[in-house]
Amino acid sequence: MKIRVKLFATFNRFRPGELAGKPFEMEEPDGISLKELINRLNIPQEEVKVCFVNGRAQDLEVILFDGDEVGIFPPIGGGLS
3-state secondary structure of 19: coil
Summarised one tens digit per residue, pLDDT across range 47-66 is 999 999 999 999 999 999 99
pTM for the whole structure: 0.87
Q: Where are the domains of the chain?
A: 2-73
Read off the pLDDT of residues 7-46 as tens digits, 9 standing for 90 and up. 998 888 888 677 778 899 999 999 999 999 999 999 999 9
User: The domain 2-73 is classified under which CATH number: 3.10.20.30, 1.10.10.10, 3.60.150.10, 3.90.950.10?
Assistant: 3.10.20.30
**Residue 69: CA count within 13 A, CB half-sphere:** 8
Q: Which amino acid is at 18?
A: E
Residue 15 Cα to chain centre, angstroms = 11
